[in-house]
Amino acid sequence: MNQTDVLCIGNAIVDVITHAEEDVLAAHGLAKGAMMLIDEERADYLFAAMGPTSVISGGSAGNTAAGLASLGGRAAFFGKVRDDDLGRLYRHDIRAAGVTFETAPATEGPATARSFIFVTPDGERTMNTYLGACQNLTEADIDAVAVEAAGITYLEGYLWDPPAAKLAFRKAAGLAHRSGGRVALTLSDSFCVDRYRDEFLGLVREGLVDILFANEHELKSLYQTADFDTALAALQSETTAAGFLAAVTRSEQDALAVTRERTVSAPVFPIDRLVDTTGAGDLFASGFLFGLSRERELADCLRLGALAAAEIIQHVGARPERRLSDLAAEVGLA
C-alpha cells in the first residue's frame, strides 16, 4: 500500500475573493470565467478596485489536496510560498486540512501568490493571479521520497506558467512512473490550454499522463473545436494506451469517464444555491481521485467528484466547509 494516496503539485495561492456585478468585470477588462495572470502593479490596482473580500487559501492542486483529505484520503502537496504572513496562512490552512505539506518557503524574492477573484451573481468566478513566490518552485522542491510514496501524482496545467515549475513537473512525473505510480494532469483553464496546447497534447501522447482532467471548455480548446462531441471523439481516439483514463466535467450536465474500452457517465448532485464556482473542478478531481485510490467503480468516482464539487460551489472559497467524508456517508458513497 502507498503511504500517500495522492500527491498534488501546483501553485500555492491565497484567494482574495469579492462579489461583483457583471459591469465591474467590463470596467476592469476582466474575461469572465477565466484565469488571467497579472503583475504586481495590476494586483495593487485590482485590490484597490475590488469590493470587500474574503481571504481563503486556494490554488488548484492545493484545493484538490484539501478535498482529498476531507474525504479521508491521504494527501500531500508541493507548492511554493514566501515566508510572509500570507505564506504562513497558506501553510497553516493546508496542514490544518490534513494535508502533508513540507515544501520549504522562499526566504527571498516575490511575495506569496494571490488570486483576486470576482464572483458574479450567477456564481461564476473570474480570477486574476499574481504568481509571486510560485515562480520559485523548482526541481529541487520535488522530494523523490514523497513522490515515490504516492499512488498518484497529480499536477495542474497552471504549473506551465511559472517557467521553472515545468521542469519540476517533468521530474515528478518521471519519478512517479519509475516507482509504479500514476500521473494525473488537469488542463486547468481553457486559456491555459491555449498557451500550452501542443505541450499538453505531447504529454498525453508520450504517455507521461495516465489520468487527464478537463472540463468542456478546456477539452474544446485542446482540440480547437467549438463542438463538444467532436472534442470528445478526439479524446476517445487519444485513449490508445491501456489504463489511460480521462475525466470530463460539463458544469451541471453529466460528468464522463473515458477509457479505451468505454465511456461512463454520472449525473451531478442537485444544489440549493450556486454561490461561487471557484474550485468546482479542483474538488471534482478530489472526489474522482479519492474513488480511484479506493479502487471504486468509475461511476462512483464520478459521483464522488460531483459530490465534492456540489459542496464547494454552495459557499465562498475553494476549500470545503463541511467534512466531505460525512457528505459521502450521507449519500451512501462512503
DSSP state of 311: H
- Transcribe 28-41 into DSSP letters: TT--TT-EEE--HH
Please report how close the Cβ of residue 206 comes to a second copy at its closest, in angstroms.
Answer: 37
The smaller minimum CB distance to a second copy, of residues 41 and 272, is found at: 272
Contact call for residues 133 and 113 (beta carbons, < 8 A): yes
Binding flag, residue 322, a second copy (CB under 8 A) = yes
Taking the mean position of all CA atoms in its chain, how far away is CA 188? 6
Shortest spacing between CB 66 and a second copy, in angstroms: 7
Of 26, 27, 31, 96, the residue at the interface with a second copy (CB under 8 A) is 96
Q: What is the DSSP letter of 136?
A: G
Distance CA 73, CA 143 (A): 20
Letters for 26-45 (x = contact with a second copy by CB under 8 A, - = none) are --------------------
Element (H, E) at 327: helix 324-330
> Is there binding between residue 311 and a second copy (CB under 8 A)?
no
Between residue 171 and residue 190, which ones bind a second copy under the rule CB under 8 A? none
Identified binder of a second copy from the candidate list 224, 321, 330, 331, rule CB under 8 A: 321
329 contacts a second copy (rule: CB under 8 A): no
Would you count residue 85 as binding a second copy (CB under 8 A)? yes
282 is an interface residue for a second copy by CB under 8 A: no
What does 243-293 look like in DSSP terms, one character per residue? T-EEEEEETTEEEEEEESS-EEEEPPPP-S-----TTHHHHHHHHHHHHHH
> Least CB distance from residue 328 to a second copy, whole Å?
17
- Contacting a second copy (CB under 8 A), which of 4, 11, 18, 120? 18
Show the site string, 258-277: x = touches a second copy by CB under 8 A, - = not.
Answer: --------------xx-x--
Output 44 or 252, the one with its CB closest to a second copy: 44
Residues 219, 221, 222, 228, CA torsion sign: positive
Is residue 92 a contact residue for a second copy (CB under 8 A)? yes
Using CB under 8 A as the binding rule, whether residue 256 contacts a second copy is answered as no
Residue in 332, 215, 232, 194 with CA at minimum distance from that of residue 285: 215
Helix (H, G, I), strand (E, B) or coil at 65: helix
d(CA 147, CA 76): 9
Q: CB of residue 227 vs a second copy: minimum separation in angstroms?
A: 37
Residue 34 burial (10 A CB sphere; 0-12, 13-18, 19+): middle
Site for a second copy in 43-62 (CB under 8 A): 47-48, 50-57
Contact positions vs a second copy (CB under 8 A)? 18-19, 47-48, 50-57, 66, 84-86, 89, 92-94, 96-97, 272-273, 275, 315-317, 319, 321-322
